[in-house]
Amino acid sequence: MGLWYPKDTGFELTAFSDSDHAGCLDSRTSTSGGIQFLGGDKLISWSSKKQDLSRQTTWYEMFDSSRTGGSGK
């Protein structure tokens, strides 16, 4: 599997990415992703990833620790 394009075609790679912060209203997790086009209109790659809960939990633990003077409780 691979990409094929004529030799005289210009190599125009366009990429877009986006992310949100705690955008899921149910889990308050973030999502990030991106897409890449070749030649302006040929989608060659895309990705989307929802933040896993362990990162979110770590953030809340650090936030709680800062509120309680570092005790974490």
Judge whether residue 67 has pLDDT over 80.
Answer: no
* pLDDT of 47: 92
d(CA 71, CA 73) in angstroms, rounded, equals 5
**pTM of the complete model:** 0.52
d(CA 69, CA 22) in angstroms, rounded, equals 25
* pLDDT of 36: 93
The residues spanned by each domain of the chain are: 13-67
Give the tens place of pLDDT for each residue, 27-65: 778 888 999 998 888 888 999 988 876 555 565 666 665
More confident residue, 49 or 1: 49
